[in-house]
């Protein structure tokens, strides 16, 4: 197990963390990319999906966008964007080399879980709740803001959480096409036959991924304190089938 010793040596060497190409700089770069892409995707995807769900239109598209996203390999899309004349491998401010290409790919891959979950969430609001709200004289906007959106929130948030996982994975794979981020440590290590370094990068990426997931789960729990019990009650009755196809993104 010499490789594991090399891994530890790389991880415990302060020099591999600091400096312009160090893991701390790459980590910050990847976090910045992920947060920007997630925000962009939410900004684009949420209004569209929520509106479609409210109107009850475009369901076929909203559901199938996830299936299409799964079939397109992340790596292939990144490769296409980097090799094309635009956006190419140019650097983009703090986002690093191939920044724009990576950012576009990240945003595209974050959209399917956000759109599908948000659409399904609004459609899943029980019909009698909608009817009761209409009967009370609520306008379409009031119905959406006061009844549909609060009830849909847990599933909308779980879509954002899936998108975060997806974005972090995509940002890591970006290193395979000379993109920015922590994946560089992995690909550089493998390219130089320095497998200890490659595994060290993988360990850091995995730990941050798990940390992000735990963080997202906590946020989700804090944002919907009183709904967990309700949702668990209804989930076993009719929801699991709907949630599972929407639940697993490709990466």
- CA torsion angle for 30, 34, 36, 39 (degrees, to 10)? -170
The smaller minimum CB distance to other proteins, of residues 149 and 175, is found at 175
Three-state DSSP state, 136: coil
On whether the CB atoms of residues 155 and 234 are closer than 8 A, the answer is no
The smaller minimum CB distance to other proteins, of residues 21 and 88, is found at 88
Q: How far is the CB of 17 from other proteins (least distance, A)?
A: 17
70 touching other proteins, by CB under 8 A: yes
Measured CA to CA in angstroms, residue 185 lies from 67, 129, 211 at distances of 31, 52, 19
Q: How far is the CB of 236 from other proteins (least distance, A)?
A: 7
The token pair at 62 is: 């909203």
**Among 27, 72, 92, 138, interactor with other proteins by CB under 8 A:** 72
The smaller minimum CB distance to other proteins, of residues 157 and 202, is found at 202
Q: How far is the CB of 148 from other proteins (least distance, A)?
A: 26
Q: How far is the CB of 176 from other proteins (least distance, A)?
A: 6
Residue 91 forms beta bridges with which residues?
97
210 touching other proteins, by CB under 8 A: yes
**Among 26, 50, 100, 175, interactor with other proteins by CB under 8 A:** 175
CA 210/CA 202 separation, integer angstroms: 12
The smaller minimum CB distance to other proteins, of residues 30 and 224, is found at 30
On whether the CB atoms of residues 100 and 37 are closer than 8 A, the answer is no
Q: Pick the stretch among 11-19, 44-52, 80-88, 145-153 that binds other proteins (CB under 8 A).
A: 80-88
On whether the CB atoms of residues 87 and 101 are closer than 8 A, the answer is yes
The token pair at 205 is: 């990426």
CA 232/CA 240 separation, integer angstroms: 10
Q: How many CB atoms lie within 10 A of CB 243?
A: 17
Is 117 exposed, middle or buried (CB count within 10 Å of its CB: 0-12, 13-18, 19+)?
Answer: buried
145 touching other proteins, by CB under 8 A: no
Q: Pick the stretch among 10-18, 117-125, 138-146, 240-248 that binds other proteins (CB under 8 A).
A: 240-248
The smaller minimum CB distance to other proteins, of residues 166 and 224, is found at 166
Is 237 exposed, middle or buried (CB count within 10 Å of its CB: 0-12, 13-18, 19+)?
Answer: exposed
The smaller minimum CB distance to other proteins, of residues 4 and 136, is found at 4
Q: Where along the sequence are the contacts to other proteins (CB under 8 A)?
A: 1, 3-4, 67, 70-77, 79-80, 82-83, 165, 168-170, 172-173, 175-178, 183, 186-187, 190, 195, 198-199, 201-203, 205-206, 209-210, 212-213, 236, 240-241, 244-245, 248, 250-251
């Amino acid at each position: 197990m010499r490789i594991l010793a090399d891994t530890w040596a790389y991880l415990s060497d302060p020099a591999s963390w600091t400096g312009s190409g160090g893991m701390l700089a790459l980590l910050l770069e990847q976090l910045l990319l992920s947060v920007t892409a997630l925000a962009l995707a939410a900004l684009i995807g949420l209004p569209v999906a929520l509106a479609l769900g409210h109107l009850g239109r475009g369901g076929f598209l909203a559901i199938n966008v996830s299936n299409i996203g799964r079939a397109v390999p992340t790596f292939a899309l990144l490769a296409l964007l980097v090799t094309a004349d635009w956006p190419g491998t140019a650097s983009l401010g703090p986002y690093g080399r191939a920044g724009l290409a990576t950012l576009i790919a990240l945003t595209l891959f974050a959209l399917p879980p956000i759109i599908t979950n948000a659409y399904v969430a609004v459609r899943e609001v029980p019909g009698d709740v909608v009817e009761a709200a209409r009967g009370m004289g609520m306008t379409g906007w009031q119905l959406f803001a006061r009844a549909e959106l609060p009830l849909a929130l847990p599933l909308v948030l779980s879509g954002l959480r899936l998108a975060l996982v997806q974005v972090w994975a995509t940002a890591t794979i970006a290193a395979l096409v000379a993109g920015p981020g922590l994946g560089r440590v992995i690909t550089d290590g493998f390219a130089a036959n320095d497998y200890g370094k490659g595994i060290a990068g993988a360990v850091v990426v995995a730990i941050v991924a798990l940390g992000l997931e735990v963080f997202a789960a906590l946020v989700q729990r804090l944002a919907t304190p009183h709904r967990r019990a309700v949702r668990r009650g209804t989930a076993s009755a009719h929801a699991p089938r709907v949630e599972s196809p929407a639940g697993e993104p490709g990466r």
